[in-house]
Structure 1
Amino acid sequence: MNAPIVWIMGSANSGKDVQVQKIVEKYGFTHIDPNAIVDKEIEAKSADGKKFEAIRKDGKEVPLADIVPLVEKQIMGQRGGVKGYLIDGYPHNEAEAKILEERLGPPTMVIALDVQGDTNKKDSKAVLQKYANITMQINAERDAKEVFEDLVPNFETLAKNRGPQISIGR
């Protein structure tokens, strides 16, 4: 895949949705939200949706390995003219990072929106260490505009080069 792949990680209160929206609007990246894909399948009452609904009813999270084929289908359906992909909210851990990398390709950049009290940090710590050379860890407890301004230099480079020639700056 020639288009950049960006993983954007952050808890529910990190402002991730706002940053994703700003990136999509300014740079034309395609937003891939695995959780929204699951919701759509459940609503459609597809075979996958029925399976996903049963998993959720048991109080479990749908495994990323079960969602990725649907992500791949979405990506393949949008290949022409794509400027990049934003994988929203994943990976949560090393196993999910491996799944994403094997199935979709390695990330060009990882964005970690940090907020105090994020209980998922311990699971994602290994991911951030593995991809440290392409990870932007950003204090997300600031105004959304300030956070976005931190992202702009690297997205400008991605938009211009359509590839991994970025220099992670803070």
Structure 2
Amino acid sequence: MAEKSALAAANLPIIWILGGPGCGKGTQCEQIVSKYNYSHLSTGELLRSEVMSGSSRGIQLFSLMEKGQHVPDEEVVGLLAEAMMTRLNKTKGFLIDGFPAGLEQAKMFEDRIGSPTKILVFEANEEVLKCRLKERGNFDDKEESILKRIQLFTEKTKPVIDAYSKSLTKINSERSVGDIFADVCKNLES
């Protein structure tokens, strides 16, 4: 596991950013990047970027994502490891946005890359999430796939939140961006 040893040697913070689709993870990550000079790695953006590249891997991923289906853990962890390695000497830490989606992914990440330094969970009501996603309008933000993604979050990601409950911080994301970010900074600086 060359990735794990290289990343461990770099001794950079790795922060998992969790929360339902549309909870504001991306917005908060932008703020963190601006203030702390971390690399923001959004699994959703890495997957969408691979799809847009037109590669054979991207074409396979598109058919899954378009249906709101779960992308295989090996693909997601592989894309993350590649992205982290390319940024290793250009960052003060990593924000892994929308990850891990399930317990298997969490274990695979820890085995292949390492353990997270911190875990932040942004909490918002399901109705708030649906409204935000409809307003955002990405290609994978159609009514049916929104419902499927929220269901996947509930079934797959909530068990991760439960499993890591002793080492994570929950943040109410139904407030202003500034109030949420103040809580994020307190946590990162503690």
TM-score (norm 2): 0.74
Gapped runs of 5+ residues in structure 2?
1-7, 130-149
What is the DSSP-based 3-state SS (H/G/I as helix, E as strand, rest coil) of the residue aligned with 2:122? strand
Structure 2 residue 157 is matched with structure 1 residue 124: yes
Structure 2 residue identity aligned to 1:29? Y
User: What's the offset of the Cα at 1:133?
Assistant: 2.8
Q: Distance in 1 between matches of 2:154 and 2:89?
A: 36
Q: Which structure dedicates a bigger proportion of its chain to helix?
A: 2
1:62 to 67, 71, 74: 71
Structure 2 residue identity aligned to 1:97? A
CA offset digits 1:97-136 (Å, max 9, x no partner): 1122122211111111111226534533332232223201
Residue 144 of structure 1 is matched in structure 2 by 177
2:25 to 3, 16, 25: 16
| Structure 1 pair 125–98 and aligned structure 2 pair: CA distance change class (3 A) | same
Structure 2 residue 187 is matched with structure 1 residue 154: yes
Q: Distance in 1 between matches of 2:154 and 2:82?
A: 30
1:97 to 78, 98, 106: 106
| Structure 1 pair 53–155 and aligned structure 2 pair: CA distance change class (3 A) | same
TM-score (norm 1): 0.82
Q: Post-superposition, which runs of at least 4 consecutive aligned residues in structure 1 deviate over 4 A? A: none
Gapped runs of 5+ residues in structure 1?
158-170
Residue 133 of structure 1 is matched in structure 2 by 166
Alpha-carbon RMSD across the aligned residues, in angstroms, is 1.9
